[in-house]
Each structure stands twice: as structure tokens, then as C-alpha cells.
Amino acid sequence: MATIVHRYRRRRYHQRVHAERAKPLEQYTSEELYASFRFGRDDIKYIADLVRPTLQHQTQRSHALSVEEQCLIALCFYACGTFFQVIGDNMGVRKATVSNVVTAMSVALGSLINQFVSIPKDDQTAQTKHKFFQMGNMPCTIGAIDCTHMHIQAPFEREWEYVNRKGRHSITIQLVGNADLIITNCVVKWPGSVHDANTPEQARFNSSHCKTRCAIERLNGVLKRWFACLNVLREQPKVASNIILACIVLHNIATRRHVPLDDNFDGPEADVEPEQPPMFLPNEGHTGHAIRDAIVRNYF
């Protein structure tokens, strides 16, 4: 009887077969890597080394993904923003694996935010001011600030807080950038219903102000075109915020490593966000106008 049971169990056993995975680092040309992942071979290896302490598996049990494979899967999602199933089919992994990798990679990159996103130090401030002055004759400027919306799926909790003025669910992010399109500060946490305060207008000051703001406006456009996933994030706010932070870190890595930030990738056009009416808070108007008038009087 024991022999019969043993044979039956052996007959039921099927060896697990793992699908063959894609190997872009070995198979793709430099141009193909850049088009699919937005980074070259050396850049991808550099990013892998940054997140290796967090993403490295202790064993190869169950055909575990290498750090490089995890990076490629996540970068593919950031670059194209397509469905996890499509990325999984292209990379030779399951949809659930793609989801887990993107989540883990986003947290790992987001943890590096203070390393790659920071206000210019004292020795860099003068050079930053000079570049902004060359751009639009705006004095004493170390950064241009703007807010933009990243669309997400309807949250399960407090859904109404994330509905913006256009009736879509979004997260409002605040970015500060310099003249070289490097992000120097970011806030990624506000629901889409939070107001985006307007900017003042005044003749020559306004003209200079607009020219200087071109840096942050172009930065917003480059960020959304370069990382197409930011156009629509089919995630809940916490996961979406981690993905946004990851893209911000990757943007600064690309800029500092002189990866060409081509903002002409084929992809959806970034939404043009209409200007919001100004929001005035008690007792804040007089100080702001006084500072603006002083700048106009002294420099224009």
C-alpha cells in the first residue's frame, strides 16, 4: 500500500518551470536602453548600487530577482507608465511581481531624497543667483517655485479631499528648481483640493518674473514627459507619493550624471493647468507687496 501511495505522489509532482526573463542590459543597445528606461547602461548600474542595500535578496530561492532586474522593471514603469501586466509580459515576470518591485523600488529611492534633493549650499548660492539673473534679470533668486497636480485613482479614504478644481483626483506637489532644472526642494503630500496660490503681476517685474519662472515650468514639463507614469498614477495616495518621490530622485540623478533630459519623448501631453484665482490670507498682503515694491524700486 505504501508503495502505491508513493508512486501516486510522484506522479502528481511537477517541477516548477520559471519563464525566461528578458536581459536588457545584455541584449539592448545604448539607444534602446535610453528609449525604454530613460537611462544608459552605466547609469542603471549606478542606480542599482544605490538601492542594493535595501533590495538585495539574501538567497536566490524561488528564482529571486537580482537588484539590476528590479531596477529595470521599475524604470520601465516610470518611463512608460503602462499597465503592470504589459511590463510583466515584456520582462518575463508576473503582474504581481511588477507591482511589488515598483512599490519596493519607490520606497528605496524615496529614502534617498535628502541625498539628492537639497537647497544650494553657501558656495553654490552665488552661481545659482547669477544663472537666474542671466535668464530673466531677476535679482537674488536661488530657486523658482511652482505647484503641479499628479493624477491618481480615487482613494478609498477621504476621497473628496483629492478632487481638484478640474474634478479629477490628484496629489498637489510643490517643487523648487534651479536654472539647471535640478529640483532643490519638494513637498509631496497635499490632496488635490489644496489651493495653489497665484503670483503677482506688475509690468517689467512681471515680465522678468515670467522669464525666470520658465525654469520651473519647463522642469514640470520635463518631469512628466520623461516619467510618463506621472501623468496618471493608478495607485492610492501613499504609494503614488512614493512613486513621485522616486521620480524626483531619478530626475536629479539624471541631471547630475548629464543624462540628456529629452522632453520630446512620444507620450501624452502634460495637462495645462489653468491659473487659480489668488488666495489672500489676513495680514499677509501688505508684507508681500512691500517686498515686491522694494525689488521693483531697486532693480527695475
Give the phi and the psi of residue 282 in degrees, each rounded to 5: -55, 135
pTM over 0.75? The answer is: yes
Q: How far apart are CA 216 and CA 148, in angstroms?
A: 10
Q: Which of 116, 81, 119 is nearest to 102 (CA)?
A: 81
Place of cell 536602453: 33
CB 257 within 8 A of CB 173: no
pLDDT tens for each residue of the chain, 300 residues long: 666 655 656 555 455 555 667 788 888 999 999 999 999 999 999 999 999 999 998 766 667 899 999 999 999 999 999 999 999 999 999 999 999 999 999 999 999 999 999 988 888 888 888 888 888 777 888 888 888 999 999 999 999 999 998 999 999 999 999 988 999 999 998 898 886 554 333 445 555 656 667 788 889 999 999 999 999 999 999 999 999 999 999 999 999 999 987 655 555 454 545 445 444 445 555 565 565 555 555 554
CA angle 86–90–95, rounded 5-degree value: 50
Q: How far apart are CA 209 and CA 106, in angstroms?
A: 35
Q: What is the CA radius of gyration of the chain?
A: 24
CA 32 to chain centre: 21
Looking at this protein, which amino acid is placed at residue 60? Q
All three cell numbers of 212, joined, read: 525666470
Give the phi and the psi of residue 277 in degrees, each rounded to 5: -65, 145
Query: What three-state secondary structure class fits 190?
Result: strand
Q: How far apart are CA 138 and CA 124, in angstroms?
A: 17
- So where are the chain's domains? 19-111, 120-237+267-299
Q: How far apart are CA 226 and CA 36, in angstroms?
A: 11
